[in-house]
Amino acid sequence: MTAHLIRTDAEALTVARALAAEFAPTASGRDRERRLPHAEVDRFSASGLWGITVPRAFGGAAVSHVTLAEVIALISEADPALGQIPQNHHCLVDAVRLIGSPAQQDFFFREALEGKRFGNAVSESGTPNAKVVTARLSRSPEGLRLNGRKFYCTGALFAHWVPVAAKDEEDRQVLVYVRRNAPGLEVIDDWSGFGQRTTASGTVTAEHVAVEPLQVLPRAQLFDPPTIHGPFAQILHAAIDLGIGRAAMADLRTWVRDRARPWPDSGVSRAADDPLTLAKLGELVIQQHAAEALVERSGRYLDEARDHSTPERVTEASIAVAEAKFVTTEFALRAATTLIELGGTQATLAEHNLDRHWRNARTHTVHDPARWKPHAVGNHWLNGATPQRHASL
């Protein structure tokens, strides 16, 4: 597989805008039919956008986090499933940057630049909480073997590599980068979420999968000492929500202008002249601009922490991303709900599929609870507390 090599931030944004325009017209149909976007994912990774975070020393563009977030937001506005599928890919490329050996970096960065896709098999269902890992990497007379069962494995079905979170025999956290077609690895298409329907975020099982040392990374080092891996993961989730909200806003504008009817008591002949409607829309526009500004601001904090990393800069980036994540969550949900409210009964008809925006927003925003973001921000502001280090803040 070969992919175009993107060399600059400007080129990345140009390519993303073109792909978004290509993906958007068929997004509603894919959602309605739960038609997995195999061809679109191939087109997406061949564009070079899946390699834009590879460091320049290895031939990549190393785009800014501001640019990366906008790329994800643009694609997510067109189709948020296509925006979410590479989220894990970029995180796992970042893991190679942070904790990979020189040999691992050379190999996996080359794979990413060639258009190879990294899925994920990190989370597990049925455990006491999301941080518990039961998958195991153990030694046998034949070598290293991986066993475990995972869920919420976004991107794995489309991947060339499936990184699996596990613990080794000394109970250390590891990431095991397994080839998608490795004997003993099975990816099951059993995702049934009411939103983000085509992310294929289902089950991965590993049964005595043979592993080479080159495929094993020390996962615990992603968070200790402090790194930007957590806020890096989160800004991409914020960008997905921003894109979902933008898509709802675009449909909302069209419906209020062209389809909705004014309330009789308003005394106007067009919904677009209803003063209460206009006020509500104005609030949403302000909220959208605030969300966009906070995502961009948090991207700048991440750029600074990546290029000049200190514990203090990592904390600042984490807090900035938490602020963005809270506001983008609220914006996406409110925009999607207001679309139906102001669109009127006609907007609820299944033939229009406008509910997909709310379904996508509600499904994606439960990835991690936004209610914990103000706590982290307030505790840092008042008490100078450092937020927890994991991929959910």
Residue whose pair of structure tokens reads 């691992």 in the numeric block: 104
* Closest C-alpha among 234, 107, 93 to residue 159: 93
Whole-angstrom Cα distance, residue 367 to residue 87? 12
What does the radius of gyration of the chain's CA atoms come to, in whole angstroms?
A: 21
Q: Kindly list the distances between the CA atom of residue 100 and the CA atoms of 106, 153, 161, 215, 222, in Å, as whole numbers in the listed order.
A: 9, 22, 15, 10, 10
Mean pLDDT of 81-99: 98
**Mean of the per-residue pLDDT values of the chain:** 97
Please give the Cα distance from 319 to 302 (Å, whole number).
10
Neighbours of 276 (CB within 10 A): 12
Contact 242, 328 (CB under 8 A): yes
Lowest average pLDDT, out of 93-107, 179-193, 280-294, 367-381, goes to 367-381
Given a cut of 90, is residue 32 above it in pLDDT? yes
Core vs surface per residue 74-87: b (16+ CB within 10 A) or e: bbbbbbbbbbbbbb
Asked if residues 71 and 49 have their Cβ atoms less than 8 Å apart, the reply is yes
**How does residue 391 score in pLDDT terms, banded at 50, 70 and 90?**
low
Alpha helices in the chain (DSSP H): 9-23, 27-33, 38-46, 65-78, 80-99, 102-113, 229-258, 275-307, 311-343, 355-365, 372-383
On whether the CB atoms of residues 166 and 215 are closer than 8 A, the answer is no
Q: Where are the domains of the chain?
A: 9-113, 136-219, 229-383
Which residue is it, tokens 């970042």?
Answer: 94
Q: What is the pLDDT of residue 393?
A: 43
Q: What span, in angstroms and rounded, lies between the C-alpha atoms of 305 and 225?
A: 13
The torsion angles phi and psi of 163, rounded to 5 degrees, stand at -70, 130
Per DSSP, the three-state class of 369 is coil
Say what the pLDDT of residue 124 is. Answer: 95
In the predicted model, what is the mean pLDDT of residues 28-33?
98
Q: In what order do the strands lie in the sheet with 161-167?
A: 185-188, 203-211, 143-150, 136-140, 161-167, 173-179, 216-217
Which of 126-135, 235-244, 291-300, 375-384 is least confident? 126-135
Return the ∠ at Cα 308 (arms to 303 and 310), rounded to 5°: 110
pLDDT band at 374 (very low <50, low <70, confident <90, very high): very high
Query: What are 306-351's pLDDT values in tens digits?
Result: 999 999 999 999 999 999 999 999 999 999 999 999 999 999 999 9
**Residue 369: its pLDDT value, please?**
86
Average pLDDT over residues 375-381: 97
How confident is the model at residue 93, as a pLDDT?
98
291: tokens are 């969300």
What gap in Å lies between CA 209 and CA 148, rounded to an integer?
10
Of the candidate CATH numbers 3.90.950.10, 3.90.220.20, 2.40.110.10, 3.10.20.30, the domain formed by 136-219 belongs to 2.40.110.10
Specify whether the backbone of 55 is left (phi greater than 0), alpha (psi in -120 to 50) or beta: beta
Q: Which residues pair with 149 in a beta bridge?
A: 205
CATH assignment of 229-383, among 1.20.1630.10, 1.20.140.10, 3.40.50.300, 2.60.120.620: 1.20.140.10
* Residue with tokens 């936004």, as numbered in its chain: 370
pLDDT classification of 194: cutoffs 50, 70, 90: very high
Does residue 390 surpass a pLDDT of 80?
A: no
pLDDT at 392: 55
Reply yes or no on whether the pLDDT at 89 is more than 60: yes
How many Å apart are CA 336 and CA 348, to the nearest integer? Answer: 12
Contact 154, 199 (CB under 8 A): yes
pLDDT at 2: 87
Residue 173's H or E segment, with its range, is: strand 173-179
Percent of the chain with pLDDT over 90: 94
User: What pLDDT digit, counting tens, does each position of 126-170 carry?
Assistant: 999 988 999 999 999 999 999 999 999 999 999 999 999 999 999
Domain 9-113 CATH (choose: 1.10.540.10, 1.10.260.40, 2.30.30.40, 3.40.50.300): 1.10.540.10
The rounded distance, in Å, linking the Cα atoms of 229 and 215 is 19
